[in-house]
Structure 1
Amino acid sequence: MGEIRIGTSGWVYPPWRGTFYPAGVTHKNELAYLSQRLGSVEINGSFYALQRPSSYQKWASQTPEDFVFAVKGSRFITHMKRLRDGDALLANFLASGLLALGPKLGPILWQLPPNFVFDPVLLAEFFGHLPRTTTRAAEIATQHDHRVDPGFTTTDAERPMRYALEIRHPSFITPQFTELLATHDIALVVADAAGKYPLIEEATSNFVYIRLHGHDELYVSGYTDDGLDMWAAKIRSWAADRDVFVYFDNDAKVMAPRDALALQARLGGCPGRTHRGAEDGPTPM
């Protein structure tokens, strides 16, 4: 049986204050509060800008030992350079501090823009440059340039690194694409996006990565009991022989933490500790 991790895409949302985050939970303690209730979270800030090692170290220190972070890859690589000129950019991303998460580093998510058309040659080249261990990632990180200062270029242990790819163009709906992912051991992101983007439910690695953006309205709508039951059944099936990571990205109306807790409850609660809901109140700090 694989491990199931359920969380949200990010944790810094003002509308969550007073709803998911009760009075008494300060802004700097929001991650700590979430991490006592869910088993994982996506770091979104890494998509918009290179973070600092001190930030990753702080996030790691605020969470339980068994907590896991997924890290969203830089949009400068995926959206601006469109996976080209990747060596120097990848070194900067790896040196920005994600290795400071240590054993809490989970999958790295690469999200392609909606106008990115399937290009097997370009994708294969990019996949070939991705380090498969934290030791190799640290070696690549030493090649960072002046845009990363200071750089974090060490690892406390050699661990495997996992990658997931989220696509948003219909040209990817072809067996050639999923075969390419399987060849390079990259997980295909199963993305429920209100029908706006392709939904391909095929396991291409030893883990499954799911992003739930809203079934009826993108980034807004919550999931019904029937919808959560359906996803719970799918997750149990995948988890028979794979790890599964699930992140709710329907945050616009404070649905993400509610739905994440509800799905987690269906699947046995938070790994390593008793399931707790938002109504339980803040964790003492």
Structure 2
Amino acid sequence: MAEILVGACSWTDRALVASGWYPSGWRDAEGRLRHYAGRFPVVEVDSSYYALPSERNSLLWSERTPDGFVFDVKAFSLLTGHPTREGALPVDLRGRIGRGVPDAGVLDEVWARFASALEPLRRTDRLGTVLFQFPPWFAPEARSAAFLRECAARTAGWPLAVEFRHPGWWQEGLYGRTADLLTGLGMSAVAVDMVQTLRTSVPPVTPVTSSELAVVRFHGRNEAWGTGSKEDRFRHEYTGAELAEWAPRVARMAEDAKRVHVLFNNCCADAAVRAAEAMRQLLVREGLSVR
């Protein structure tokens, strides 16, 4: 049976830092990571979506965490077709994005720098997966499939996970085709928990498309998803009953993959780390192999 790693989608979120979860004396950059890594075996790097990560930071993250700890790194926004601010690019690459579309040379350079930044994590076995989170307009069509194939070609040898924000990928009739596409590309499908009352709601399906890794991300169930501030979108306190809905789903995923990452993205105050702790206890009581 798979090893299940439970954690949160950030350890640096300002609301988490302000919540008091980090004890006094552990609130600098090194202290926060060491404290977090002493309690959870996996974390998602969210900052890499907003700006290219650096090789120096990856090296520091590796040095400050114990063997067996892993980072799931979110792909930079430009690499997943999201709008990217000019200021998010390295200074020498700015001024070369017209109407949000980079020229080929810029895109190649961004890919190269992103890969270089992750190398210390790969070298020290700290890279859990690279998360490609695609926008709601990334619809299930031929050009999207071609884009996925390009991503796979550029990242040969990397562990990859894909989260779709367009619900059509997992609707009845396309589910099998989507799963086959990701399986063929060696990409792990990301299952999501989110509010189910919106037109853009992604269903809580649990496809396992890689025998190496399956991933679940819990976004909370706030009706304000897709609107308002970050706090509006992600403010949610998971109940025991809501978490219990996922125990049999995670168990089934653990039957088909060597490892399962369960990550909480309801990053308001300490809600995510508390939900992660509660989920870990729940899965342990179910007799699963949990870290």
TM-score (structure 2 length as normaliser): 0.76
Secondary structure, counterpart of 2:215 in structure 1: strand
2:198 is the alignment partner of 1:198 = no
Q: Deviations over 1:133-158 (max 9, x none)?
A: 2xxxxxxxxxxxxxxxxxxxxxxxxx
Task: Provide the residue aligned with 2:112 in structure 1.
Answer: 91
AA matched with 2:209 = T
| Structure 2 unaligned spans of 5+ | 84-99, 224-232
2:262 is the alignment partner of 1:246 = yes
Describe how 1:96-245 pairs up with structure 2 within 5 A: 97-101=117-121, 102-120=124-142, 121-133=145-157, 161-173=158-170, 174-175=174-175, 176-195=177-196, 196-199=200-203, 200-206=205-211, 207-217=213-223, 218-242=233-257, 243-245=259-261
Shift of 1:188: 1.3
Seen in structure 2, the aligned counterparts of structure 1 residues 178 and 123 have a Cα distance that, compared at 3 Å, is farther
Task: Provide the residue aligned with 1:19 in structure 2.
Answer: 20
Q: What is the distance in 2 between the residues matched to 1:129 and 1:253?
A: 39
Task: Provide the residue aligned with 1:46 in structure 2.
Answer: 48
Q: What is the distance in 1 between the residues matched to 2:190 and 2:102?
A: 18
Shift of 1:100: 0.4
Contact 2:188–2:215 (Cα < 8 Å) also in 1? yes
Q: What is the distance in 2 between the residues matched to 1:21 and 1:128?
A: 38
Q: What is the distance in 2 between the residues matched to 1:84 and 1:114?
A: 23
Task: Provide the residue aligned with 2:227 in structure 1.
Answer: none
Seen in structure 2, the aligned counterparts of structure 1 residues 89 and 129 have a Cα distance that, compared at 3 Å, is farther
Q: Deviations over 1:202-237 (max 9, x none)?
A: 111122111100034541112111122222222122
AA matched with 2:23 = P
Q: What is the distance in 2 between the residues matched to 1:212 and 1:84?
A: 35
Seen in structure 2, the aligned counterparts of structure 1 residues 82 and 172 have a Cα distance that, compared at 3 Å, is farther
AA matched with 1:47 = Y
Shift of 1:177: 1.9
Task: Provide the residue aligned with 1:3 in structure 2.
Answer: 3
Q: What is the distance in 1 between the residues matched to 2:113 and 2:132?
A: 15
Describe how 1:259-274 pairs up with structure 2 within 5 A: 259-268=275-284
Over the aligned positions, Cα root-mean-square deviation in angstroms equals 2.4
Shift of 1:82: 8.2
Shift of 1:254: 2.5
Contact 2:50–2:76 (Cα < 8 Å) also in 1? yes
Q: Deviations over 1:217-260 (max 9, x none)?
A: 54111211112222222212211231101110001242100001
Secondary structure, counterpart of 1:32 in structure 2: helix
Contact 1:77–1:84 (Cα < 8 Å) also in 2? no
Task: Provide the residue aligned with 1:60 in structure 2.
Answer: 62
Contact 1:10–1:43 (Cα < 8 Å) also in 2? yes
AA matched with 2:25 = G
Q: What is the distance in 1 between the residues matched to 2:103 and 2:215?
A: 24
Name the % identity: 28
Shift of 1:83: 11
Q: Deviations over 1:143-194 (max 9, x none)?
A: xxxxxxxxxxxxxxxxxx3111111113323132222111112111111121
Contact 2:10–2:267 (Cα < 8 Å) also in 1? no
Q: What is the distance in 1 between the residues matched to 2:253 and 2:72?
A: 19
